[in-house]
Structure formats: C-alpha cells, structure tokens
Structure 1
Amino acid sequence: MVRVDNKERLLKLMQILKEETDEENELTLDDIIDKFQNIYGSDLKLNKNSLKDDIEHLIESHFDITINQEKDGLPKYYSHQYRLFELYELRMLIDAVVSARFITKEETKGLIRKIKQLTSVHQAKQLQNEILIDSSVKSESHLVRLAIHDLHQAISDRKIVTFQYGRYDMNKQFQLSHDGELYRVKPLALTWANDFYYLLAYFYQENEIRHYRIDRLRSVQITEESFPFEAFDVNKYVHSTFHMFAGSEQWIKIRFKNHLINPIIDKFGKQVEIRKDNESHFVVTTKARISDGLVSWILNWGSQAEVLSPSTLVNQVKQEINKMKDIYK
C-alpha cells in the first residue's frame, strides 16, 4: 500500500487545487482522491477526514479555498479561485512579451509557459490565442536579458559602465562601431520605446546624454567607479524625444490640421499647450529635442503639419523636403 506523509499530502493538495481548479472548475473529495491516485498510483489510500482537515489547515493559513454546496446531502465542491493575476492581465502580459522585439523567439516561448503557470491548467488553455510570434522581427541576441539585469544593477548602485556598440552592415553582419572601442558612460535609466529597450546614459567622451539600443550592446561591464546621485526625470526626457534621437531641447510651435488632435494628444499628453488657430487648424507649443528624429516625425504628417518656430527647425524641415524633391525629379 502506498502512503504519503501528512506534509507531502498537504502540499500536494495545495498544488492540485492551484493547478486543477478555478471559478469554473471545482473538485469533490472523490475527485481529489482520484487526482492523488493518478500521481501516486491506485494503491494509495486516502482518508476523506484527513483531506477535510488539510483543507481547514490551508484555509486557516489564508490559502484561498472556495467551498460550494448548493443543497444539504449533495457533495461539497472545492476550488482555488483567487489569484494574483486576472486572466485578462495574463493575456496582456503574453501579448506584451510576444510584441517585444528585444526578446528572442525561444525566450518568448519560455516566458509564455511561465505566465501560463500563474493560473489553472484550464484557464491556461484560454491563453492560446496570443499574438502570432513573428520570428523575423525578434532579436537574435540572447545577451539582452543579461545586459538589462547588469544595467539595472549599475543604475541602482550608481556605477559607471563600459560596453561595445555596433550595428548591422549592408551584408546583415553585425559590426562593432569605432573598431570595437569601449564606450564609457554614466547609466541614467532604461526605457522601452518603439518596441526596443534603450539605455539612457551620459557619454563622457562627448559630454552629452545619448541613447543606446540594448540589443546592440556587447561586452557590458560594471566598473568599480561610482558617480554621485543626480535627479533625472526619465518620463520628461523620453517625452521630449522623437524616435529616440538625442538633441538640444527647445520650444517648438507646429500648426496641425484639426483632425490630428488625437494623435497629437497621444504623443504629447493632455497637458500640452494647444490653441485654436483658425477653423481648420490648431497650434501646439511644447518643448522638444531638435533632431533628425523630430524632422522625420514632422514629415510623417506631410502637408497637414507646418513648423512655425524655431527658425532652425523650419530650415531643417525645408532642407529635407528639398532633398526629397531632388530624389523624385
């Protein structure tokens, strides 16, 4: 005869309830005994009173167990219904993981498996409708997760970081920039923008803040050299950038067609200064970092957006428009 000691029985009961039950799937004591025998063999003998005591112990220990009995004389049904995440929250987590380009295809599958373990096996089946994993746009670098961990640690400990940086060439081969020379930076923050993780850091060689794609970093090392704490508003900084291009921050004014009000609020937030210009246009006044990224963003709107100031930005947009005209002559 197979026997299970009290501690093991209690832990296994908790596992069965967590994995096999939820709001729509309940188990009677007979069902629970069947689950035990499926695990330990049909020779296992369990006492229902012992299981009832185990259930009471779990409830007293604040493990959620719902007991359902509609009428006297009918068997009681037991289920574990409270979980840290709702099903829709797990769906959002899975969709976010699948959509993140910096996570490799293999890591994506592994994370999805782990997320599904946060609910019952029955509800996990409802999470099969995740977004299709497009491996063609997924990162191929398994170093990203390690770099993210190290950089978070460096930011927390205020340690200077060195790394190599690179990009793909026309032959789709990854090439290190500046002949593999080490970049020495003061890490300020990590941010997720445009489907990628970026490191925001002060680049000592050029005395300016720059952005680095995490999946393009190589040989990340945390040095022993510390730097003093300085307040850095990540949200404010990222809000002022376009396509993660660095640049000097200036006040800008742009006139837009009225139907673009929602995309503009999506970009700048409801607090941005907007005034009516005429019956068909409004003007946005905000601070932004003047860069090629900003110029490209403005040109996305074509003739529906007109830069009013500063004059340097007006000239940059004009120059880019002229270059485009020359191409299509």
Structure 2
Amino acid sequence: MGDLRKSERILGLIDVLHKYTDEDHELTAREILDLLHEELEDKVEIHESAIKRDLKELEDSSYIELMVHNEKDGLPKYYSYQDRLFEIQELRLLMDAISSARFITKKDKENLLGKIKQLTSKSLASHLENQIHIEEYAIHEAKRVKYTVFTLHHAIHEKRVIRFNYGRYNIDKEFVLSNDGEPRELEPYALVWNNDYYYLIGKFEDMQNLLHLRVDRMLDVELTDQTFRLEEHFDISAYVKRVFQMFTGVEKDLKVRFKNGLINVIIDRFGKDVSIEKDGEDRFILRTKAIISDGLVGWMLNWGSDAEVIDPPELRDQIKEASKKLYELYHGEEGP
C-alpha cells in the first residue's frame, strides 16, 4: 500500500462527507475512514488518528461548514456536511424541467439527471429518482440545439450580430432553407423557452419590428465582428405576453369581451396587472396590446362564444372567416 499526501487525504475526506452525509446521515471518524478506504479501493493505508486530525482542521476551517455532533463525553463524535448549494426541492424542479424539455434528447436527459444527483448526498439522491416518464420524442435537431443555444447566449451577452441559415419542413418532411439558402444576419436580443421549444427574439437590420425564430430551425449559427445596441426599453416578459403560440405579426391594441368564468385564464396569460373592467353582471372587457396573428385567432377560437373581439376590426374579421370555414367543414356535404 502507498501513502497519501495530506492534501489528497483531505480532498478525499471532503468527497466522502459530500457523498455520504447530510442533515439526516452522520458518520463517525471510523465510518469515514472505512468509506475512504472503499473509495480508494484499499490502495493506500490511512490511520484513524490522521483522519481525526483532518476532521479537526475542517471543523476549524472557515472554507467548509462541517457539522459535529457529540451529545456526551466519551461517545464518538458524528460528522456531516450540510451546507449544500441546492436544496433537494430545487434539484427536483431542475430534474422535472429537464425531463419535460422536448429539445433535449433522451440520452442527454439521462446524462444531465445523473449529474444533478451528484450535487447532493447519495441518500438524498435516492429521493430524486425521476418520476416523469422520459419519452424519445426529442426533435431530431436536439443534438446540435445545445451548442446553438450556447453560441446564442454568447452573442446576446456580447451584443454581437449573428449570421445563420433558417428553414422549415415541407409536406414531404424535407427541411428547406429559407431566403434561397442565403445566410441572414440578425441582432439577437434574448432567448425564450416557450411551449417546449427555444426561441430567439431579435431583429433583422432591414426591419423595424422584433421577431422570434425557432432555435432548432437555425443552422450554421456564427458570431460576426459587428456589434449592435439593444433597443431601449426592451422588455422580454412584455413581448412574450403579447405573442400568442409564438406566431409573428403586427402589434395592435386589443379589446375583448369575456365571460367572467375566464378571468383566471386571462390573469394566467397576461398577469394580474392587465387592464380589465366589468361589463354587466357576467362579463368583463380586457384591454391590452397583442401581436395580431393566426396564433391569436386560434387562441380566441378556443373560448367559443365566451369571448368576443371588439377591436381591432381586422382580428374580428379573421375570426369571422375562420369560424365560417370551420362551420362549413362540419356542416357541408359529407366527404367520402
């Protein structure tokens, strides 16, 4: 058997405390020594007296909060490490978010979940067994999305213009590049995770309005040397509230009459500060700004006769047309 340098021995000691102790699990110096030998596969010889001296140094150190429990003289001391960066409930939230994300492949999810479990003790990690079923439904492009997201975060932080290609699938499930396959340049403002997808919010230099793009449809993303200034008063939360189903369009003042039963739907969608006023005994009127788009039309149709658009007129006309087509589809001549 070989010998460990003191610094290596203390590092091993900290590793054992991190893995095997927490607020509900304490260890004596002898138990810590046995686990340390097990971790090192008995390749080195360590004496209990050395471990006790090391534990005393850790107890007196201001760099690690070692909990020492000794109820009565003559009984062995019990040691534990409890000052962890994440609470077990916070790790659970992280794991559930990763498990639910469509843009992460099943293999990457399992890898990430395994790493999260290493952020706590083995005993606490046993309570983090995944309760959300992981399906292999991740998008085909997910393997490169994580690298694209990293590049975009860097571009946003540095306020650097990006160059990229963008595309969509056609009816034959072929991915077709937009703009005749020519790269475009964009000022990236922010990233949003919405409806299980990452979206990049930004602006083309030749356009005034902001837009958002699906990150998994972006190819060959690279930073340019060109920088930009962020639009003044840009509020990402306000922008996302105005967008429905992540469709692009023109922003307009929106006025809608809803039945009272939908008040929680409106608060969930727009927040408690949104402007509403009572309209009779059983209805209220919503006033806000929104992106007029097919996504908003579809969202309004969800509520049927419980929601009536008052303004803008073009949105009212779009809903009329969509309702007419839906009626004709189900009340016209039966198909074959």
Q: TM-score range by the shorter chain?
A: over 0.9
Q: CA deviation at 1:73?
A: 2.4
TM-score normalised to structure 1 length? 0.94
Distance in 2, matches of 1:187 and 1:42, equals 54
Q: What is residue 238 of structure 1 aligned with on the other side?
A: 240
Distance 1:49-1:220 versus aligned 2 partners, 3 A rule: same
**3-state SS of the aligned residue for 2:287?**
strand
Aligned residues: 329
Instruction: Please name the residue that 1:302 is paired with.
Output: 304
Mapped contact 1:255–1:308 kept (Cα < 8 A): yes
- Cα distance change of structure 1 residues 139 and 97 upon mapping to structure 2, 3 Å threshold: farther
Q: Residue 256 of structure 1 contacts residue 281 of structure 1 at CA under 8 Å; is this kept in 2? A: yes
Aligned to 1:315: 317
Q: How does 1:1-329 map to 2 (within 5 A)?
A: 1-42=1-42, 44-59=44-59, 60-231=61-232, 232-328=234-330, 329=332
State whether residues 211 and 244 of structure 1, in contact with CA within 8 Å, keep that contact through their aligned partners in structure 2: yes
Kept in 2: contact 1:22–1:81 (CA 8 A): yes
Larger displacement relative to structure 2 (60-69 or 133-142): 133-142
**How far 1:181 moved relative to its partner?**
2.2
SS of equivalent residue, structure 2 residue 252: strand
Structure 2 unmatched ranges of 5 or more: none
Q: Contact between 1:2 and 1:41, CA under 8 Å: does it hold in 2?
A: no
Check the 8 A contact 1:101/1:139 in 2, yes or no: no
Task: Report the secondary structure of 1:147's partner residue.
Answer: helix
The 10-residue stretch of structure 1 (227-236 or 269-278) with the greater mean CA deviation from structure 2: 227-236
CA contact (8 A) 2:256 2:285 kept: yes
Is the partner of 2:120 in helix, strand or coil?
coil
Aligned-pair distance for 1:169? Answer: 2.7
Helix, strand or coil: the match of 1:26? coil
Q: Once the two structures are superposed, what CA deviation does each residue of 1:73-110 show, in whole Å capped at 9, x if it has no partner?
A: 22211111121111010000000111111122222111
The AA in structure 1 aligned to 2:4 is V
Deviations 1:121-143 (A, max 9, x none): 11111111331111124554311
| 1-structure distance, mates of 2:140, 2:102 | 6
Stretch moving more, 199-208 or 78-87: 199-208
Provide closer, same or farther for how the CA distance between residues 75 and 252 of structure 1 changes in structure 2, counting only shifts above 3 A: same
**Structure 1: segments with no counterpart, 5+ residues:** none
Q: Percent identity?
A: 45
Q: 4+ residue stretches of structure 1 with deviation over 6 A?
A: none
**Deviation readout 1:284-324 (Å, 9 max, x if unpaired):** 11111111111111111112111111212111111111121
Contact 2:104 2:138 survives alignment (8 Å): no
- State the alpha-carbon separation in 2 of the partners of residues 81 and 31 from structure 1: 18
Computed over aligned residues only, the root mean square deviation of the Cα atoms, in angstroms, reads: 1.8
